[in-house]
Amino acid sequence: MTTGVETTQIPDLTDPQTFAPGVPHEAFARLRETPGFHWQPTEIATANGGFWAVTRFADIVEIESNPALFASQPGGAWPSTNLSPDPAENPLYNNLMMMDPPRHSSVRRVAAAAFGPRIVKNFDPWVREIVVEVLERIERLDEFDYILEVAQIIPSFVVARVQGVPAADRQWIVDQTLAAFEAMQTADVNAVGEVLSRTFTYYREKLVPEKLRNPQSDMTSVLIHAAERGEITEAEAYDFLNLLQAAGFETTHTLIGQSMRMILESPEIAEKTFRGIQELGPDKVIDEFLRYITPAMFMSRTATQDTVVGGQPVRKNDLLNLYFTAANRDPAVFANPDEFDPWRTETASLAFGSGPHRCIGNALAKLELRILFEEMAKRDFRLRLNGAPQRGWSTFINQIRSLPVARVS
């Protein structure tokens, strides 16, 4: 397999240990500067014995804009890839991330009607209620883990509210989400299927019957009634609820946790954050956090025929991992890309992907962090590190699992 850089210079991108100290930005910088793509060997979840690591912004945009040539159906995120086209053998067949047009378009259209930016802006009052409730609880604590008490709680409650999940079931939903992410990292499709089966059973036996009896302004009601009208299938409706549960929680959980870690670890970033909010408003600052953090570090596509992209010959069924985290520091797009700079003019990052699969929940993720910043500022809520942050064990999500903090009086 031809590759433009010596494999010994690049860490194993399939090994979570590579990402344990942090995202390997130096290695990604070498890959961006090298013609073609880097071939990462692995027999796990690939048809041709490995995947191409795509790290340049322009190449990723080109690939994501052409789903006919670079498909999502065999799997949208390694190692949940090289999946069967047979629905009976593929537990992720009805997952929106694993669909291509036109099927993808029909499901996304239904979901977007209840989840687009114009709808999400009306979520402000009840999202603010959740944030205020969380802050009022931790105001009584002198020391706590910011991840457990804030970064996990806010998005889990928000997603549950969007889904229409009763408050009593919210923690169970979060537990299933975490279990699914752990299973994905072991490339155990059966384990992922077991988690999805549990949540599918919950939706089918408890949540959906209630929404059929008593429709409300939540995503479950929208999806299940769309299924009744034949706009999507029942399985597609259930699987979108599973996707919303996972993606809506984990991405925002990472954004909230990593942004606070950066603020607490770097006086320079803290100063730029607070000054940026005052001078620019919170949205520009949040966009820069998203670029800099890039919660979902990559997504995957599979070539449907022999082709050439980014100067690299690619075979049919080759897997391509699109490293958004590398592209978001591409100097061809971003000036001084390793610098945190809310005043930068280049704002079209790939934190939420691009093309037909651009994350449908991006407006909600940004709303949650904006409200959190606003409510913390109102309370002059100041923290300091109270121990070493602990990263997650993931090749996929830029995870942080623990952030010990203490109140500053």
Tens digit of each residue's pLDDT (9 = 90 or more) over 289-341: 999 999 999 999 999 999 999 999 999 999 999 999 999 999 999 999 999 99
Instruction: Report the distance separating Cα 386 and Cα 114, nearest Å.
Output: 41
For residue 2, being part of any structural domain is answered with: no
pLDDT for residue 149: 94
Domain that holds residue 338: 7-407
Query: Which CATH number covers residue 316?
Result: 1.10.630.10
Name the band, by pLDDT with cuts 50, 70 and 90, for residue 260: very high
For residue 248, being part of any structural domain is answered with: yes
For residue 269, being part of any structural domain is answered with: yes
For residue 244, being part of any structural domain is answered with: yes
- Domain count for the chain: 1
Task: For residue 19, give the nearest of 234, 297, 263, 387 by alpha carbon.
Answer: 297
332-358 pLDDT, tens per residue?
A: 999 999 999 999 999 889 999 999 999
For residue 1, being part of any structural domain is answered with: no
391-407 pLDDT, tens per residue?
A: 988 899 999 999 999 99
The residue to which tokens 């929680």 are assigned: 249
Buried b (16+ CB within 10 A) or exposed e, 19-28: beeebbeebb
pLDDT for residue 4: 47
For residue 218, being part of any structural domain is answered with: yes
For residue 279, being part of any structural domain is answered with: yes
134-181 pLDDT, tens per residue?
A: 999 999 999 999 999 999 889 988 988 999 988 888 888 778 877 776
For residue 168, being part of any structural domain is answered with: yes
Mean pLDDT calculated for residue range 197-222: 88
